[in-house]
């Protein structure tokens, strides 16, 4: 990340990474879809927390192997909010490459499957 996370943000990334690994293990064992969510107050840096988590998943950490093929789908009910989140990730995450964040537009989206290693908004 191009910014230093606050201690509470680092804790959130750590907890999310732990839950994500557990959910992946559960899915691999049961084939039951799993959901991980992040809730935090306005201004807590949810986008920064998620960008740090995505980097940790793509590039690995001392405790977890890298998963460069992971696919992320960023959902909100506002195209403007999606664009704002995409721009913040592009600006603040130093290991996520230009073009790795993809905006899905209803009228032009024609992919049958999402491509590995991308973040879709």
Sort 92 into a burial class: Cβ within 10 Å, 0-12 / 13-18 / 19+: middle
pLDDT of residue 21: 96
What 55-58 contacts at long range (C-beta under 8 Å, 24+ apart), as own/partner pairs, is 55/1, 55/93, 55/95, 55/96, 56/13, 56/17, 57/17, 57/20, 58/95, 58/96, 58/117
pLDDT of residue 106: 77
DSSP 101: E
Separation CA 102–CA 18 (nearest Å): 26
pLDDT band, residue 17 (cuts 50/70/90): very high
pLDDT band, residue 46 (cuts 50/70/90): very high
Q: Domain spans of the chain?
A: 7-120
* pLDDT above 80 (res 30): yes
* pLDDT above 90 (res 110): no
Q: What's the pTM value of the predicted model, to 2 decimals?
A: 0.91
- Scanning 34-121, the segments in alpha helix (DSSP H) are 46-59, 79-92
E strands, the chain, where? 72-73, 101-102, 119-120
Q: Which backbone phi and psi does 13 adopt, to 5 degrees? A: -60, -45
pLDDT band, residue 107 (cuts 50/70/90): confident
Q: Which backbone phi and psi does 50 adopt, to 5 degrees? A: -65, -40
pLDDT over 90 for what percent of the chain?
Answer: 86
């Amino acid at each position: 990340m191009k910014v230093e996370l606050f201690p509470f943000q680092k804790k959130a990334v750590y907890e999310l990474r732990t839950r994500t690994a557990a959910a992946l293990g559960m899915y691999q064992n049961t084939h039951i879809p799993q959901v991980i969510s992040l809730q935090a107050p306005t201004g807590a840096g949810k986008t920064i927390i998620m960008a740090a988590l995505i980097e940790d998943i793509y590039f690995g950490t001392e405790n977890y192997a890298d998963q460069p093929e992971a696919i992320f789908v960023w959902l909100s009910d506002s195209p403007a909010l999606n664009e704002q989140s995409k721009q913040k990730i592009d600006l603040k995450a130093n290991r996520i490459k230009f073009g790795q964040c993809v905006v899905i537009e209803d009228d032009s989206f024609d992919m049958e499957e999402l491509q590995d290693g991308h973040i879709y908004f």
